[in-house]
Amino acid sequence: MEHRRLGTTGIKISPIILGTMQMGWRIEEEESFKVMDKAIELGINCFDTADVYSYWADNSYQGKTETIIGKWLSDRGTRDDLILATKLRGAMSEDVNDRGLSRRHVHQASANSLKRLQTDWIDLYQIHSFDNDTPISETLHALNLLVDKGLVNYIGASNIHPWMLVESFWESEKNGYVKFETVQPPYSIVRRMLVEHQMFHVIKKYGLGVIPYSPLAGGFLTDRYSRDGPKPDTPRSEGAEKRYFTDKRWKIHETVKEIAVAKEVTMTQLAIAWILTKDFITAPIIGANSVEQLEENFGALEVKLDDDETKRLDEVSDWVADYESIR
Ligand SMILES: NC(=O)c1ccc[n+]([C@@H]2O[C@H](COP(=O)([O-])OP(=O)(O)OC[C@H]3O[C@@H](n4cnc5c(N)ncnc54)[C@H](OP(=O)(O)O)[C@@H]3O)[C@@H](O)[C@H]2O)c1
C-alpha cells in the first residue's frame, strides 16, 4: 500500500482513513472492535473520530465513540501503530461554555478526549467547524500550547470556509503558532463544488492535507438507493433524501452504477475509486457498519478507472456549467 504524506507534515497515512461516527450509533462496542481490528489488519493506520460522536443516537451520549476507541486501544495495545485524529467544537453538555473554540474549552475538551481515548497524545486535533464567537487567534494560541506540551502533534480544520483558513494562516504566521495542516470537508462524486471551487486554491497554495468525509454521500452511493425504489431502512436515508434526491444526482448515481456493473465492482468501490483519482485528495474517510462493508470499501484501492470511465464520471458530476448558469 502506498502511504500518503499528510499535507506538509512529516507523517504518512494510509490512502484510506477509518471513520468512526458509526460506532455507538449504527454499531455497538463488539462490532466496533471487529471493524477496528480489521482496519489494522488491512493496513489502515489512521482513524478519525470526534468528541461529540454519537450523541444523536438513541441511548447514546457525547463521548461514546471516543470511549469505545479508548477501550479498544487499551485492550489491543495498538496506540503506537495509529495516527489518531479527533475533533472538538460541538456542545458536550448543556453548559454554554462546554462547547465552541474558546481557550477554556480547547483545554477542557482536549483533556476529556485524552481521558476517553486512554492515550497521552492526539496526532491530529481538528476544529469540527468554526466558532463565530471566538477570535481565531485565541483558538490557535490554545491549540499551540497543546502542541508545545506534546499533547497534540498536528492541528486541522473541518467544515471551514476558505477565507477563514487563510485568515488562520496569517494569524499563525504572525504569532509563530502552528498552522492547520489538514482540511476535512464533505466530498464525493455527488458533492464536489464545496472543495473544487474556492477551497481548491487554498489547498494547493498552502499544501494542505485533504481528508474528506462522506465519500459515499452517507450511503446514497450504494445500490440500496434507486430513483424509483423505496428508501432503504436506515436512519441515514432521510438525510440522504433531503440532500441528494435531485435529478442531477440520480443521473450521477445511475452512471456510477452502470460503470460499476460493467467493471464487476460494487458502487461503493467505484465511488471511492473516483475520489482516489483526484490528486488533491490525501485520503477519504470511510464509514463502515461491519467488517464486510469495510472490506468491500477498502477494495476500492484495487479499482483502476480508465480515461474514458473517469471522463464520463467527471462529466456527469460536473458542477461548473450549473454554477456559471446562475452566477
Ligand atoms: N467532519 C465532519 O463534520 C464529519 C461529518 C460526517 C462524517 N465524518 C467522518 O467521516 C466518516 C465517514 O462519513 P460517512 O459515514 O458519512 O461516510 P460514507 O462512506 O459516505 O457513508 C457511510 C454509510 O454508507 C453506508 N455504507 C458504507 N459502506 C457500505 C457498503 N459497503 N454497502 C452498503 N452501504 C454502505 C452505511 O450506511 P447505513 O448506516 O445507512 O447502513 C454507512 O453508514 C465518519 O465515520 C466520520 O468519522 C465527519
Q: What per-residue confidence (pLDDT) applies to 59?
A: 87
- In the chain, where the domains are located: 4-184
Residues 36-94 have pLDDT tens digits of 999 999 999 999 999 999 999 998 999 999 999 999 999 999 999 999 999 999 999 99
Asked whether 162 lines ligand 1 (CB < 6 A), one says no
What separation in Å is there between the alpha carbon of 65 and the centre of ligand 1? 14
Tell me the C-alpha distance between 232 and 223, whole Å. 10
Quickly state the pLDDT bin for 192 (edges 50, 70, 90): very high
Asked whether 288 lines ligand 1 (CB < 6 A), one says yes
What separation in Å is there between the alpha carbon of 219 and the centre of ligand 1? 6
DSSP for 44-102, please give it.
--EEE--TTTTTTSTT--TTHHHHHHHHHHHHHT-GGG-EEEEEE-S--SS-TTSSSS-
Cα angle 135, 141, 142 (rounded to 5 degrees) comes to: 100
Asked whether 156 lines ligand 1 (CB < 6 A), one says no
DSSP for 134-174, please give it.
S-HHHHHHHHHHHHHTTSEEEEEEES--HHHHHHHHHHHHH
What separation in Å is there between the alpha carbon of 326 and the centre of ligand 1? 31
Asked whether 26 lines ligand 1 (CB < 6 A), one says yes
End-to-end CA, the chain: 42
CA atoms within 13 Å, Cβ hemisphere of 103: 7
Asked whether 222 lines ligand 1 (CB < 6 A), one says yes
Which ligand 1 atom is nearest residue 128's CA?
Answer: 1
What separation in Å is there between the alpha carbon of 207 and the centre of ligand 1? 26
Whether residue 53 lies in the annotated active site: yes
Q: What per-residue confidence (pLDDT) applies to 297?
A: 98
Nearest CA to ligand 1 atom 4: 213
Q: Is residue 28 helix, strand or coil?
A: coil
Quickly state the pLDDT bin for 181 (edges 50, 70, 90): very high
Average pLDDT value for residue range 193-197:
96
Residues 280-297 have pLDDT tens digits of 999 999 999 999 999 999
Asked whether 191 lines ligand 1 (CB < 6 A), one says no
pTM score, whole prediction = 0.98
- Residue 288 near residue 22, CB atoms below 8 Å: yes
Q: What would the grid cell of residue 285 be?
A: 474517510
Q: What would the grid cell of residue 176 be?
A: 509563530
Amino acid of residue 300: A
DSSP for 300-325, please give it.
GGG----HHHHHHHHHHT--HHHHHH
- Residue 228 near residue 222, CB atoms below 8 Å: no
CATH of 4-184, one of 3.90.1170.10, 1.20.144.10, 1.25.40.10, 3.20.20.100: 3.20.20.100
